[in-house]
Amino acid sequence: MTRQEQVWAVARQIPRGRVSTYGAIAEALGWPRGARQVGWAMAAAPAGVPAHRVVNRDGVLSGRHAFTGGPDEMERRLRAEGVEVVEDRVVQFRRLLWEPAEDPAWRPPG
């Protein structure tokens, strides 16, 4: 299993209507300085991985340009699940933030 695949596995745990961050996912994988690589993995994510739920530490949709549906696709998908977005930023970001550690179903690899 590549690191990319591990990142995707965590991203799939993000509940509908919630968001997480690159840094939080990296940390959950025991990879505290791997946020950048998480972004890299999101860019390469296959269909089925909710990449639109991953934003940066400020709640900004930094990856919107990478979606095949165009730069508005990320926001559309978030809105479709009830997440409000204003000027590229998730409204109530802190309240909607999901961290892998809070999900008892998730166990780190190894």
How many other C-beta atoms lie within 10 A of the C-beta of residue 11?
22
Q: Report the Cα 64 to chain-centroid distance in Å.
A: 12
* 104 vs 110 by CB, closer to DNA: 110
| Helical (H) or strand (E) element with 5 | helix 3-11
Among 9, 62, 97, 103, binds DNA (CB under 7 A): 62
x-or-dash string of contact with DNA, 18-57, rule CB under 7 A: ---xxx-------x-xxxxxxxxxxx-x-----xx-x-xx
100 binds DNA per the rule CB under 7 A? no
